[in-house]
Amino acid sequence: MYRYVITLTRNGKTIYVNLINSSAGRYLNRQPYVITLIRDVLTPIKISGVRVAIERDMGRVIGNTDIVETNETDTIFYAQPQKKNFFSRYAKNRFPAPSHKLTVILEKDTQGDYEIIDTWIGPCSPPFPGDVNETVKSRSYWENHALVLDIQAVQPKTLTKDCPY
């Protein structure tokens, strides 16, 4: 596995990302400036736990989020993202919104260091229903939120207007 080291935490844990084969890597390849933001957030803190979700308000607009709150006027559809086997919820005709929040999801590896498995600009949100990391909050959160269909690739044969969960 390819490991790109981002930083060391205050308690000496190495934070790295697989830039080739991870959701975080694909996101960082499209928005490389987020690596600097991640360093700013993770370097001064102590990290512990097996799976850690960090949401940080950066105090300024740092980019646009693809996560939007939805209502009954939105046109919603569902599809499986490329290389995924769960359905994501999308809102048609919506646009990314400015955000001052950064989310970083980390998992502890066998050496005790942390891999960034996902990151994005925007609020921390639970995984989609059907994801292996689904939580009890997943379904209720994604009933009222959706992704803006931007440059995210979906599997066209999986498009549906019927909620799969």
Burial class from Cβ neighbours inside 10 Å (0-12, 13-18, 19+) for residue 158 reads middle
Whether the pLDDT of residue 151 is over 70: the answer is no
The predicted structure's pLDDT at residue 156: 87
The predicted structure's pLDDT at residue 93: 85
**Can you name the residues that pair with 98 across neighbouring β-strands?**
64
User: Whole-angstrom Cα distance, residue 19 to residue 27?
Assistant: 9
Among 53, 114, 51, 129, CA closest to 84: 129
The predicted structure's pLDDT at residue 60: 97
pLDDT digits (tens, 9 = 90+) for 1-58: 689 999 999 999 999 999 998 989 989 999 999 999 999 999 999 999 999 999 999 9
pLDDT-derived band of residue 152, with 50, 70 and 90 as boundaries? low
The predicted structure's pLDDT at residue 84: 87
Q: Is the torsion defined by CA of 83, 85, 91, 97 positive or negative?
A: negative
Are 24 and 119 contacting, i.e. CB atoms less than 8 angstroms apart? yes
The predicted structure's pLDDT at residue 153: 77
The predicted structure's pLDDT at residue 149: 80
pLDDT digits (tens, 9 = 90+) for 58-113: 999 999 999 999 999 999 999 998 888 999 999 988 999 999 999 999 999 999 99
Counting every residue written for the chain, the total comes to 165
